[in-house]
């Protein structure tokens, strides 16, 4: 990850945590920004990055603000089927201006 990408990730986390009111999306626990994480709904594994694109994988609509205990729940939100992932990415692609 480049320095520029790291800065962008920090800014995204700050923005998302602020919008979430410093609360975990799943359990509602109030925590400081350094204790909260951004969890990918469709994970950032290499094959998913290749298939859906880096920009879509790291899009805010593909992430949830979570505590460490709830981090793995984000992946459960989108079933492991290709169809569910395709449906999940439709609004992300629309926002990015990518046609399917």
Ramachandran quadrant class, 59 (left: phi over 0; alpha: psi -120 to 50; beta: rest): beta
For residues 53 and 90, the answer to whether their CB atoms sit within 8 Å is no
Averaged over 30-55, what is the pLDDT? Answer: 92
Selected residue with higher pLDDT from 35 and 100: 35
For residues 67 and 24, the answer to whether their CB atoms sit within 8 Å is yes
Pick among 1.10.30, 3.40.1130, 2.30.110, 3.40.190: CATH of 3-96 = 1.10.30
pLDDT at 15 > cutoff 90:
yes
Share of the chain above pLDDT 70, in %: 99
pLDDT digits (tens, 9 = 90+) for 50-89: 999 999 999 999 999 999 999 989 988 877 788 888 899 9
CB atoms within 10 A of CB 75: 15
- Could you tell me the residue ranges of all domains in the chain? 3-96
Give the Cα-Cα-Cα angle 2, 5, 100 (nearest 5 degrees): 120
Selected residue with higher pLDDT from 38 and 77: 38
Share of the chain above pLDDT 90, in %: 72
CB atoms within 10 A of CB 64: 22
pLDDT of residue 100: 67
């Amino acid at each position: 990850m480049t320095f520029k990408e790291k800065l962008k990730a920090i800014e995204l986390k700050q923005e998302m945590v602020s919008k979430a009111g410093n609360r975990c999306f799943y359990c509602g626990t109030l925590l400081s920004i350094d204790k909260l994480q951004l969890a990918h709904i469709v994970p950032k594994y290499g094959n998913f990055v290749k298939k859906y694109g880096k920009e879509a994988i790291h899009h805010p609509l593909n992430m949830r603000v979570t505590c460490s205990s709830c981090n793995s729940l984000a992946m459960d939100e989108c079933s492991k089927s290709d169809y569910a992932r395709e449906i999940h990415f439709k609004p992300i692609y629309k926002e990015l201006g990518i046609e399917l």
